[in-house]
Amino acid sequence: MLDSELLLSISEDCNRSDIIAHSDKVVSDIDYQRYKNLLSLRRNGFPIHYLIGKKEFFSIDFFVSSNTLIPRPETELLVDTALSLFGKNEKINILELGTGCGAIALTLKKNRPMFSVTATDKSIKALDMAKINADKLGLEVNFVVSDWFKKVKYNNYDLIISNPPYVEERALEFNNNLKYEPRLALYGGKTGLNSLNLIISEAIFHLNSGGYLVLEHGAEQAKKVIEFALENKYISCQSLKDMNNKDRCLIAQRSI
């Protein structure tokens, strides 16, 4: 019902509340055809957020498109974690890798204007969307097109944060819910750990002493990422649970 109302509000070019308030209004043939086309896309599993073009994250509306992952509620844990690691007025340098529509980087900047935030992505189209979101929110973030650390100039970050692609090959093949989102945003190699391992092994060289690495990972990957972080000389490694009580977020620290 909710999706139908949202789709009708797109074809009628109005708000959902108008649809509810004027439920006796007769729609034109053209609008009805538009509505039927949208319904048919939705029935085939096309995500509602791509159809309406936005998604709420941390109570902020972000524009999304099929070039960006749709931000997930569990990713808010990364933002909460990052905010809890630093004082309100601390001036710190943050690097977000794989920003997509910019949800993590921009939410951090909005909540802590003192933070200096750089956000990267390999996808130029995703970064374009992140820039549109930054403009809409009036937030200043430094966006860089980069294949992970390749174009990252500095090694003075107090926090490196990322929700990298971590879906394993088999899960991606069989999960119909993921088929419309960019493969680049999801595919983590055969075991799902390719990007996680690369980021863990390289981030330590870009962190200040005592700096933190905060990474989202799959619910079954906690043990592996903690072990890998310890092998790479991080300290205080742990995984935090998300709101569904699933292991979700690695925190690891570069020693002082």
Q: Is 106 in the site for ligand SAM (CB under 6 A)?
A: no
- The alpha helices in 65-176, defined as continuous H runs, are 76-85, 103-111, 124-137, 169-174
Q: What are the DSSP calls for 106-127, one per residue?
A: HHHHHH-TT-EEEEEES-HHHH
| CA 124 and chain centroid, separation | 15
Q: Is 121 in the site for ligand SAM (CB under 6 A)?
A: yes
Strand 235-241, strand 247-253: pairing:
antiparallel
Contact predicate 252/212, CB 8 Å? yes
Q: Is 98 in the site for ligand SAM (CB under 6 A)?
A: yes
Tell me, residue by residue from 15 to 54, as one string, x for binding to ligand SAM by CB under 6 A and - for no binding. Answer: ----------------------------------------
Instruction: Please list every residue from 144 through 173 that binds ligand SAM, using CB under 6 A.
Output: 146-148, 163-165
Q: Is 123 in the site for ligand SAM (CB under 6 A)?
A: yes
- Shortest distance, position 35 Cβ to ligand SAM, whole Å: 29
From the list 185, 213, 215, 251, which residue makes contact with ligand SAM (rule: CB under 6 A)?
A: 185
Instruction: Please list every residue from 186 through 215 that binds ligand SAM, using CB under 6 A.
Output: none
Distance CA 36, CA 50 (A): 16
Residues at the site binding ligand SAM, with contacts judged by CB under 6 A: 69, 71, 75, 97-100, 103-104, 120-123, 126, 146-148, 163-165, 184-185
